[in-house]
């Protein structure tokens, strides 16, 4: 799985810590650069009737704004810059990772967990700022007192699960998709080199790769969407403290 | 070119809305991807088990380290079971979310 290997480009050590600039860091910079370039180019014209790039930017803007509005309510829109940045970052790293030879930043658990942990930290901070200690009511469902002692730990574990399920979902989807592509690509080479009838068979996995690449495009967009909408749902809970029933 | 008049823009907006309504293509709902749903449930369940087991392991370790009470492996077993309950709770909630989303999509 050479495509997932992290290689240092500029080795750097601070104390005992390895803080080298790796291919991972390079691709994160590329992703951030690509998003910035896209948005900057898109709004350069500022035309009333948008061109192609501008309407792409406007569609993504409206898409995220509607998503926050429906999932987190109108007052959730203060988080628009954050959710939009998150969405675009994940979307672009998923898409750019599909280019041959590219490195998929989101196929590393440390990246996705970093994002997810930040989201959850923000949810907790928002909740405590907005509701004070009353935010802890999130862990107390409406139930008779004699089963609460069992339900509160369950609710707590359920909450603690979030950063993990959020990050594992994105990371595993990316990892599985890229591994699948690689496995089928190796079938093409193995069958092609086998000679005779088997060489002819190598066309089959080749067409499968084309199909899987299309599927991966869908997965890339879908996972960015899922990541963003779950962020909105969690923010909604922090903002409005909807008790579970 | 003169600046566009307000009424012009408004009528353009109305015409755009009408055209949008006429040509509405049913977009595939993101939640409708069956594999996506299956994957969502799996991660919810498995991560709850991991978190539950992890907390239990931590409790056992803490008791071992700082007290003379030996709870191992009961803390881990108890928290693992609670983790399973939390995982099922997560799956039910995820299913409710997806159902609500689909009902909303069917509604409009």
Length of chain A: 245
Q: Please give the pLDDT value at position A245.
A: 41
In a domain, A61, yes or no: no
Closest-approach residue (CA) in chain B for A227: B40
Which among A81, A80, A78, A98 is positioned nearest to A31, based on CA atoms?
A: A98
Binned at pLDDT 50, 70 and 90, residue B101 comes out as: confident
- The pLDDT of residue B4 is above 60: yes
Determine whether the interchain pair A158/B40 forms a contact, defined as Cβ–Cβ distance below 8 Å.
no
In a domain, A107, yes or no: yes
Provide the Cα torsion A68, A70, A71, A77; round to 10°: 30
Rounded Cα distance between A67 and A70, Å, is 5
Q: Please give the pLDDT value at position B3.
A: 64
Please state the φ and ψ torsions of residue B61, each to the nearest 5 degrees.
Answer: -60, -40
In a domain, A236, yes or no: yes
- The answer to whether A113 contacts chain B (CB < 8 Å) is no
In a domain, A81, yes or no: yes
Determine whether the interchain pair A158/B50 forms a contact, defined as Cβ–Cβ distance below 8 Å.
no
- In contact, A227 and A86? CB cutoff 8 Å: yes
Count the neighbouring beta carbons within 10 Å of the beta carbon of residue B88. Answer: 15
- In contact, A138 and A201? CB cutoff 8 Å: no
Q: Please give the pLDDT value at position A161.
A: 93
Number of domains in chain A: 1
- The pLDDT of residue B49 is above 50: yes
CA A194 to chain B, closest CA, distance in angstroms equals 34
Average pLDDT over residues B62-77: 89
Q: What do you get for the CA distance between the two ends of chain A, in Å?
A: 45
Domain boundaries, chain B: 33-107
Q: Report the residue from A158, A165, A169 with minimal CB separation from B89.
A: A158
Closest-approach residue (CA) in chain A for B51: A161
Find residues 29-48 of chain A whose CB sits inside 8 Å of chain B: 48
CB under 8 Å to B17, separation ≥6 — which residues? Answer: none
Rounded Cα distance between A179 and A177, Å, is 5
Determine whether the interchain pair A172/B30 forms a contact, defined as Cβ–Cβ distance below 8 Å.
no
Rounded Cα distance between A53 and A27, Å, is 23
In a domain, A125, yes or no: yes
Q: Cβ contacts (< 8 Å) between A169 and chain B: which residues?
A: 39-40, 43
Closest-approach residue (CA) in chain A for B37: A226
- The pLDDT of residue B31 is above 60: no
- The answer to whether A172 contacts chain B (CB < 8 Å) is yes
Pairing type for strands A13-14 and A17-18 reads antiparallel
User: In a structure prediction context, what are the per-residue pLDDT tens digits for chain A, which is 245 residues long?
Assistant: 677 888 888 888 888 888 889 999 999 999 999 999 999 998 888 888 888 888 889 899 999 999 999 888 888 899 999 999 999 999 999 999 998 888 999 999 999 999 999 999 999 999 999 999 989 888 888 888 888 889 999 999 999 999 999 999 999 999 998 899 888 888 888 888 887 788 888 888 889 999 999 999 998 998 999 899 999 999 998 898 865 44
Determine whether the interchain pair A157/B79 forms a contact, defined as Cβ–Cβ distance below 8 Å.
yes
Q: Report the residue from A158, A222, A226 with minimal CB separation from B90.
A: A158
CA B21 to chain A, closest CA, distance in angstroms equals 17
Range of the domain at A141: 70-240
Q: Please give the pLDDT value at position A228.
A: 93
Q: Report the residue from A153, A165, A222 with minimal CB separation from B36.
A: A222
Rounded Cα distance between A6 and B19, Å, is 50
CA A176 to chain B, closest CA, distance in angstroms equals 12
Q: Which residue has the higher pLDDT, B98 or A78?
A: A78
Q: Cβ contacts (< 8 Å) between B9 and chain A: which residues?
A: 48
In a domain, A99, yes or no: yes
Q: Which token pair is A152?
A: 């509160």
- The pLDDT of residue B30 is above 70: no
Q: Please give the pLDDT value at position A34.
A: 95
In a domain, A94, yes or no: yes
- The answer to whether A173 contacts chain B (CB < 8 Å) is yes
3-state SS, residue A224: helix
Strand partners of residue A14: A17
Q: Please give the pLDDT value at position B53.
A: 93
Q: Which residue has the higher pLDDT, B22 or A71?
A: A71
Q: Please give the pLDDT value at position B2.
A: 61
Average pLDDT, chain B: 82
Which among A113, A74, A96, A127 is positioned nearest to A23, based on CA atoms?
A: A96
Determine whether the interchain pair B44/A165 forms a contact, defined as Cβ–Cβ distance below 8 Å.
yes
């Amino acid at each position: 799985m050479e495509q997932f290997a992290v290689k240092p480009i500029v080795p750097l050590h601070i104390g005992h810590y390895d803080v080298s600039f790796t291919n991972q860091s390079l691709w994160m910079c590329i992703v951030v650069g690509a998003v910035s370039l896209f948005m900057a180019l898109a709004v350069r014209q500022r035309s009333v009737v948008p061109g192609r790039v501008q309407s792409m930017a406007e569609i993504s803007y409206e898409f995220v704004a509607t998503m926050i509005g429906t999932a987190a309510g109108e007052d959730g829109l203060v988080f628009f810059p954050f959710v939009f940045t998150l969405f675009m970052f994940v979307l672009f790293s998923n898409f750019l990772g599909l280019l041959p030879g590219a490195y998929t930043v989101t196929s590393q658990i440390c990246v996705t967990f970093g994002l997810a942990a930040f989201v959850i930290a923000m949810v907790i901070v928002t909740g405590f700022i907005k509701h004070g200690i009353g935010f802890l009511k999130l862990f107390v469902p409406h139930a008779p007192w004699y089963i609460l002692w069992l339900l509160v730990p369950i609710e707590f574990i359920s909450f603690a699960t979030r950063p993990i399920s959020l990050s594992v979902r994105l990371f595993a989807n990316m990892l599985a998709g890229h591994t699948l592509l690689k496995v089928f690509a190796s079938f093409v080479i193995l069958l092609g080199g086998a000679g005779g009838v088997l060489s002819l068979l190598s066309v089959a996995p080749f067409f499968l790769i084309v199909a899987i690449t299309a599927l991966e495009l869908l997965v890339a967009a879908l996972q960015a969407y899922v990541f963003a909408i779950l962020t909105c749902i969690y923010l909604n809970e922090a903002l409005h403290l909807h008790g579970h029933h | 070119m003169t600046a566009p008049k307000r009424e012009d823009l408004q009528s353009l907006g109305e015409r755009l809305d009408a055209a949008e309504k006429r040509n509405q293509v049913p977009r595939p709902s993101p939640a409708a991807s069956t594999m996506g749903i299956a994957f969502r449930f799996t991660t919810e369940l498995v991560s709850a088990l991991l978190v539950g087991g992890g907390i239990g392991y931590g409790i056992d370790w803490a008791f071992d380290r700082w007290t003379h009470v030996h709870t191992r492996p009961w803390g881990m077993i108890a928290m693992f079971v609670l983790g399973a309950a939390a995982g099922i709770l997560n799956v039910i909630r995820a299913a409710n979310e997806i159902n609500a989303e689909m009902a909303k999509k069917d509604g409009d």
